[in-house]
Amino acid sequence: MKSGTHPDYHFITVQMTDGTTYQTRSTWGQEGDTLQLEIDPKAHPAWTGGRGQMLDAGGQVARFNKRFGGLTLGKK
């Protein structure tokens, strides 16, 4: 390997949102740093396969359905 072209690969500690920690190797930070996760892959639907729900924030969906609910697509 050519020297100086690759980032330093070292051990860091990863702290989950529930407080548990584990050690892994990474190019993030410096040797011995702690990476604190804001989103826990043990509980987040993106990693657990949970179904997302459409939230009607401020009546946006209801207003859309009221405005365009009578439209039909396709042949009659």
Indicate whether 64 belongs to any domain. Answer: no
Indicate whether 33 belongs to any domain. Answer: yes
Indicate whether 11 belongs to any domain. Answer: yes
Q: Is residue 42 within 8 Å of residue 16, measured between CB atoms?
A: yes
For the chain, the first-to-last Cα distance in angstroms comes to 67
Domain membership of residue 3 as a residue range: 1-42
* Closest by Cα among 60, 15, 67 to 41: 15
Supply the pTM of this predicted model: 0.54
Indicate whether 57 belongs to any domain. Answer: no
Which pLDDT belongs to residue 15?
Answer: 94
Indicate whether 38 belongs to any domain. Answer: yes
Q: Is the pLDDT of residue 76 over 60?
A: no
Indicate whether 50 belongs to any domain. Answer: no
Q: Is residue 53 within 8 Å of residue 30, measured between CB atoms?
A: no
> Number of folded domains in the chain?
1
Indicate whether 16 belongs to any domain. Answer: yes
12-47 pLDDT per residue, tens = 999 998 899 999 999 999 999 999 988 888 777 777
HSE value, Cβ hemisphere, 13 Å, CA-based, for 58: 1
